[in-house]
Every structure is written in structure tokens, then in C-alpha cells.
Amino acid sequence: MKGSSIGIAVIGAGRAGMIHARNFASGIGGARLVAMVDPFNGARATALAELGIDLGYANYREALADPRIDAVVVVTPTVFHHDIVLAAAAAGKHILCEKPMAMNAEECREMTAACEAGKVKLQIGFMRRFDRDFAEAKAVLDSGRIGDPVLIKSLTRGPSVPQPWMYDIAASNGPLAEVNSHDIDTLRWFAGDDFAEVYAQAGNYRCPEARLSHPDFYDTVVMTVRFVGGSQGLVDGALSVGYGYDARLEVLGTKGVLFAGSLRESSLVVCGSDSELLSPAVKTWRTLFTDAYREEDRAFVRCILEDSGPCPSGRDGLEAVKAVNAGNLSISSGLPVRLTREAR
């Protein structure tokens, strides 16, 4: 590192990758965007032009050999996370890895062990922990205002049609991974507890093009959760809903209830001569969680500069992946699935 300025490379120039890249390019204190990594020449060139930097790599291993780079943000398809993180840890680079952490629990454990051996930070990209509304809700819960959490519900519903690669559940881990990892982490975060058992049901109601080629694909899922301590949880997920991007939370406690998140893009409500009340809905996660992504990137830099523990950690990423795998198994088997507890 040059002084206290951390050189950042973003690996992946897709939608989420560019959110992180723009944050570091526009100014995250203590860090500077050094390079973009993407195997597609067009995507890489477009990103460099927008971000106003010159250094781009097609191969992430070349970027990891660059001494100007101190840390990486991994924003690739999930199947590549494991190998990239292991290589980055071996190269001594700190890592912010987007969710889902990996494809299975064993990959997660290997990633965490590699980062510990390499003495580098590993933070997982659950940006809702940095959203103002969700963070305030957690503070209220921790204050005891609504008592102990009894039932925690979290939902994510996206408006767009899924990318074709997601149809193959074996290759993508499906919507529970790509969409509802955030809900799974939110449940664990608010409960302060691990999952003991899950039961999931799912179906494909809005993606007819996937029914013949991938009959196990689902665009809608409900997963109930029993925590180790006995409280309950529920994950509600859906794709291609059309009406907007919907991310909300409800926590029922022994003394009250709290809600966080909103489908409304603003407080504007319009009533016309037809007497219909109209309010704009959130269209995309990219705008809904703009500030949360920035705070997440700041937290990553801070944990490096202060040599503090990253949060969310590799353990949080591991538990979310275990829940995803258990949920998919429950969908296919029609049975509840128990989760094993990790040694602490």
C-alpha cells in the first residue's frame, strides 16, 4: 500500500461490479481504484472509459501479480468465486467477495481457511447490513423495544426476467442463491442465531421458456426456518414479478413488531380525478441500495486500515450457502432439511 491508500481492483465489470467500481473511482476514503478485470474486451474497455482509468486486465491472475493492487472486489458469477478468492489470498490481496460466497459449504470453508493462512481480510457482500433502514431496525431490535424476536420474515422480489444461465439450478444454485441470499443473511443477522432446519416449496409461474429445458427451475419460493434457539423465520422470493424491486423485512417480537424496507421509491402520492392513489415503485436494486453499497465499500477499506474483523464475514457467507443448498434439497425432496452446526 502507498501510505494508507489501498489500491483496489474490481474483478467483473457487470452491473454489480460497476456499482463497486464507481464507488471507488468517485472517492472512498483511504482507497483508490487501480484496475478493472474482465475477460470480455468490450465490457472492460467500456468500464475503463467510464471510470477514467487506464489499467485493465483480461486475466485476474495477472491483476493479482500487480504490486499496485492491495485488495480485490470479486463480482463474477458464483462458480468462479472459490478459485479467485484462493488465488487472491495466496497473493496477499484483501478480498470483498460478492454474495453468494460460493457454490457449496466446502468451497466456503476452503476460502476462509485460505484467507486466514494468507492473513488477508475476507468480507462478504451482504450490503443490506449497511442500509440505513435495516440498520436502524436492527438497533431497535437490539434495544429490546419489541422484546425477543419470535418470527422474522424477509422478502426479495425482482422485476426482471432471469438470465438464461440461472435456469440450471445445478450450475447457479437458483433464485435462493442469486436473489434470496440477502434474505437468508438478514434472518441470521436479526436473529443472532444459526439455522437448524429449513423447509422450502417452489414453482415456476412466470418463466415458461424454462419449463421444458429446466423443469426444476423455480421463479417463486417460500422457505420456512427454525433457528437453533427455537425462533422462526420465513424467506419469500420471486423473480420476474414486473411491478418493481421489492425488499422488505418484518420482525415479530414478544412485545411488538417492526418493519423495514418499502416498495415505494419516494413518499410521493398522487391522486387524480379518477380517485386512484398512485405512488412510484422502486424499479431496481441498483438504486434502492446505492448508499448501502457505498457504506459496504467503506467498511471494507476500514477493516483493512484498522486491521479489524470484516463484517459480514466468511462465516456469514458460509451459513447463507448452507441454507441455500438445504433449501434446494428441500424443494427437490419435498422434505425438511436439517443443517449441521459449524465448530466455533
Tell me the CB-side half-sphere exposure of residue 211, using CA atoms within 13 A: 7
Do residue 34 and residue 108 come from a single domain?
A: yes
Do residue 160 and residue 287 come from a single domain?
A: yes
Do residue 135 and residue 252 come from a single domain?
A: yes
pLDDT of residue 266: 61
pLDDT of residue 163: 87
pLDDT of residue 76: 97
Do residue 261 and residue 147 come from a single domain?
A: yes
| Domain CATH number, residue 115 | 3.40.50.720
pLDDT of residue 27: 85
Q: In which residue ranges of the chain is pLDDT below 50?
A: 2
Residue 344 domain-assigned (yes or no): no
Distance separating alpha carbons of residues 186 and 257, to the nearest angstrom: 16
- Cβ neighbours of residue 230 closer than 8 Å, sequence gap 6 or more: none
Terminal CA-to-CA distance of the chain, rounded, Å?
A: 32
Total number of domains in the chain: 2
Which residue, among 143, 182, 196, has the nearest Cα to 320 in the 3D structure? 182
Task: Taking the CA atoms of 131, 38, 314 and 218 in sequence, report the sign of the dihedral they define.
Answer: positive
